[in-house]
Structure 1
Amino acid sequence: MSLPVVTVSVTEFKAKCLSLFDDLEDRRVGKIVVTRHGRPVAELNPPDRTLPPLFGAHPGSAAVVGDYDLTRPTSEDEIFDAEGGILHR
């Protein structure tokens, strides 16, 4: 079963945006098309919840071995490009 597509004008969207977002979130509508002067200017779709969030998607999948400091500079003798005034290579 396909969810309905709701088409609203910009003015109507401004007045009803919170309830329209609720409809998207609760999967009562499949898409909201916002129009200006009868022409579509935006489409809103619910997020795809089947994908894991990008941040924290694989917690515990990597470990730092030993006492390696991830915040330590990678090189102490080299001058980095920015320090030397080099903008592009």
Structure 2
Amino acid sequence: MKKTKAEKGAGGRKQIPAGEFKARCLGVMDRVRERGEEYVITKHGKPVARLVPVPGAEPPASPFGWMHGSATINGDIVEPIDVPWEAVSDDE
């Protein structure tokens, strides 16, 4: 996703023009939710709205490790087995 041209405003909030916010609103809202960023939306250089994270909302869970502990390994998976395998080939 492209970064916005938002500038740091007072209080560390980023300012974003209304036209740019309109074009990139879903990405801006994702950054607010995931990173806790705050934005002041301006129209003709004047602040008109503020977009802030919802208090108490948690960022989305990481996709890494979501299945941790759901599988077990039984026996030795490294050593070869004593049973001979019969390979099936396309020639048969």
TM-score when normalising by structure 2: 0.46
Q: Name which one, 1 or 2, has greater alpha-carbon Rg.
A: 2
Q: Please identify which structure carries the higher helix content.
A: 2
